[in-house]
Structure 1
Amino acid sequence: MIELKTPAEIEAMRPAGRFVASVLTALQDAAAVGVNLLELDALAHKMIRDAGAESCYIDYHPSFGAMPFGKVLCTSVNDAVLHGLPHDYALRDGDLLSVDFAASVDGWVSDSALSVVVGTPDPEDLRVIETTEKALAAAIDVARTGNKLGDISATIGEVARDAGYTVNTQFGGHGVGRTMHGDPHVANDGRPGRGMKLRPGLVIAIEPWFMRETDEIYTDPDGWTLRSADGSRGAHSEHTIAITDDAPVVFTDRSAV
């Protein structure tokens, strides 16, 4: 069921967005060669406790997960492209790290993700990161009242193909509100002019993710981490936004942190 938020509810969602943005900013600053993924998870956990927020991940157990997630953020490194389960791994020079984080503040959720290269970057890693960011910005720009959900999806797919990437549509964006995942599903490819009409009060997470040389994935033995089928590195960018009568509200905008 798709629920439209009132203007007052949209205002009430802003603190969650600001908090999620602040945690991702702190994680981006902390990510460095030699830092353990468990240290990043511990940092996010501390920020959750200090803010009186609630994790959306730690007890999360959807049908595709082998068990409750058990950590408070996803850390996907190199060929791990989504849902990376934090484990005892120290980041190495040149690693491509994607961090995905969602939390609830006063009962409202925001969800966001970013990708960075730790240490010496491979230009092709920077290129795939930049493409996800470009796709996200373009998708947000068309997320306006009167357009269709397919316009968002088509925009993401077009940016990916223009850069020479193929698109996996198994996982994508989603509705956000009192829970992390809800309707509608926001695919990372589609046809313009199709799907539901975008209306004021619709709150969604838009999250393009691409891999350098494939669109096929498999599940790691840990039961959660999704890896590229051929070892290609991948990147992931995400914001939670609200459709309004004017420009979309980007709750998780890190430039305001």
Structure 2
Amino acid sequence: MSITLKTAADLEGMRIAGRLASEVLDMLTPHVKPGVSTEQLDKLAHDHIVHVQGGTPAPLNYAPPGYIPYPKSICTSVNHQVCHGIPNERPLKNGDIVNIDVTVIKDGWHGDTSRMFVVGEGSIAANRLCNFTYEAMWKGIAKVRPGARLGDIGHAIQMFAEANGFSIVREFCGHGIGRKFHEEPQVLHYGRPGTLEELVPGMMFTIEPMINAGRREIREMGDGWTIVTKDRSLSAQWEHTIAVTDTGYEVLTLSEGSPKPPAFITG
């Protein structure tokens, strides 16, 4: 496995790309409401990335081996959709939950982040899933420091999610990121502490747990991209891009409108 370590100059480029990606989510936030379609959100995001930020939406026409090109500029995964949902004309309804996943390329660097949104008034169960998934992501982030191992991140996320009655999607994971959208290492959201690659300064990767209210099994829809829960239970995901620093970690995908970290981080 070849992990590309980033320099201080690389880090500055990644900070800019990460902040821009988060600012797209800030811009979209007031538009996520009943009656608005994910197609409309996609157009807003595309125009902002291209015409305001001078960037490129990484998902548009992205085609890893075995996939058809992804047709939109963001991913929008609604309710029981786990990830890679394709924006469409269906209006969002009161009570829906939606993950919006944004990756901006700026000066060759990729910033990748996603947030959950509850449309209108969500159920207690939907809000609980979204909130616990957010905390689970931060449980993983809190493990990042030189000398720790990737297994420590996955273990922290898995233990927290399963202790609260949720399940972890295992077929998709976080990933290294930089000049390429997806690099090594793979960052599993489950596992055993003290296993897998050791973290060293200069590593950059995403932590993006997909957590289901029901069982962990998933299936792919006929569009070749959208992943859903087999039991049609709700699924949530949050994502940040992280850099390993000399003393711990830096979250690269933060902006003015980013949700605040949980109390166990700030306290």
Distance 1:111 1:93 in 2: 27
Q: What does 1:1-257 align with in structure 2 at a 5 Å threshold?
A: 1-50=2-51, 51-63=53-65, 65=67, 67-255=68-256
Deviations 1:82-136 (A, max 9, x none): 1001111110111111111111111110111111110111111111111111111
The 1:256/1:249 distance shift into structure 2, 3 A limit, reads: farther
Distance 1:82 1:256 in 2: 23
TM-score by length of 2: 0.93
The 1:162/1:144 distance shift into structure 2, 3 A limit, reads: same
What's the secondary structure of 1:155's corresponding residue? Answer: helix
Query: C-alpha displacement at 1:256, in angstroms?
Result: 6.4
Distance 1:108 1:190 in 2: 29
TM-score by length of 1: 0.96
Q: Residue type matched to 1:84 in 2?
A: G
Q: Is the 8 A contact 2:74 2:100 kept in 1?
A: yes
Distance 2:66 2:229 in 1: 17
Query: C-alpha displacement at 1:79, in angstroms?
Result: 0.9
Residue 263 (structure 2) aligns with? none
Q: Is the 8 A contact 2:76 2:99 kept in 1?
A: yes
Deviations 1:217-248 (A, max 9, x none): 11112221111101101110000010001231
Query: C-alpha displacement at 1:255, in angstroms?
Result: 4.3
Q: Residue type matched to 1:106 in 2?
A: D
What's the secondary structure of 1:97's corresponding residue? Answer: strand
Higher mean C-alpha displacement, 24-33 vs 230-239: 24-33
Q: Residue type matched to 1:87 in 2?
A: N
Higher mean C-alpha displacement, 199-208 vs 154-163: 154-163
Distance 2:167 2:12 in 1: 37
Distance 1:32 1:217 in 2: 27
Higher mean C-alpha displacement, 27-36 vs 198-207: 27-36
Query: Structure 2 stretches of 5 or more lacking a match?
Result: 259-267
Query: C-alpha displacement at 1:11, in angstroms?
Result: 1.6
Q: Residue type matched to 1:59 in 2?
A: N
Q: Residue type matched to 1:189 in 2?
A: Y
RMSD: 1.2
Distance 1:138 1:234 in 2: 18
Q: Residue type matched to 2:98 in 1?
A: L
Query: Structure 1 stretches of 5 or more lacking a match?
Result: none
What's the secondary structure of 1:81's corresponding residue? Answer: strand
Identity percentage of aligned residues: 38
Distance 1:27 1:222 in 2: 25
Query: C-alpha displacement at 1:35, in angstroms?
Result: 0.4
Q: Residue type matched to 1:57 in 2?
A: P
